[in-house]
Structure 1
């Protein structure tokens, strides 16, 4: 798998990294989204401290991730229940 050396700028600092070619676009978009959130929080709350802004973005991202995981768990449980119901119906029709 080929890796690319890229640089991502976050909060006016450049971060060199190696990423798989297939992940490059996702990594670049993530960097862009982080910077957009930083700008939004800076404007919304009037905070200039980059560490505070980065902490707020990290917290926000983790809350979003946790919410998405909870949603996926609900979907997974619903799918499992529906498959179980279908299996039961199929089993009943075979008999």
Structure 2
């Protein structure tokens, strides 16, 4: 039984820390995913500027660790901030897609 509103999927490629990653996403999620990718890249760049002796992979790992800590805190606190919880959920889904 179809609800009549099947989600349209699309293929996009995002670049994180200089590496391209092809993703299959729901078309409606693209703006959020693009924003998350931009935020991750900005965080990686800040780590690279702060820790000049670390390579890009180390900076990417540190950036993603900060997001994981934020996600853990949000889940532990019961997700009192719906906006933060939504963003962290989207980031978690993006990371799941990248790891598949």
Structure 1-normalised TM-score? 0.70
Match of 2:68 among 62, 65, 77: 62
Match of 1:3 in 2: 9
What is aligned with 2:32?
26
Confirm or deny: 8 A CA contact 2:74 2:80 kept in the other structure: no
1:16 CA drift (Å): 1.2
List gaps (5 residues or longer) in structure 1: 76-95
Higher relative CO (CA 8 A, sep ≥ 6), structure 1 or 2? 2
**C-alpha displacement at 1:24, in angstroms?**
0.9
Question: CA contact under 8 A between 1:41 and 1:47: conserved in structure 2?
Answer: no
Structure 2: runs of 5+ lacking an equivalent: 1-6, 82-100
Name the SS of the counterpart of 1:35 in structure 2: helix
Instruction: Report the count of equivalent residues.
Output: 75
Cα distance in 2 for residues equivalent to 1:53 and 1:67? 21
Q: Give me the TM-score of the superposition, normalised by structure 2.
A: 0.67
Higher helix share: 1
The residue aligned with 2:77 is 71
Where do 4+ consecutive residues of structure 1 move more than 6 Å? Answer: none
